[in-house]
Amino acid sequence: MFTLNIIIGVLAISVVSGSIYSLITGEYGIQPYIQLLSGLMVFSLGLKMFQENRQNRKAKATFSLFASGFVLFVSIFVSIYVLLS
pTM of the model: 0.84
Domain that holds residue 9: 2-84
Radius of gyration of the chain measured on its C-alpha atoms: 14
Q: How many domains does the chain have?
A: 1
Could you read off the pLDDT tens digit of each residue along the chain, which spans 85 residues? 688 899 999 999 999 999 999 999 998 888 888 999 999 999 999 888 888 877 777 888 888 889 999 998 998 888 888 788 7
Best CA proximity match to 36, nearest among 82, 4, 5: 82
Alpha-carbon distance of 84 to 68, in angstroms, equals 24
Size of the chain in residues:
85
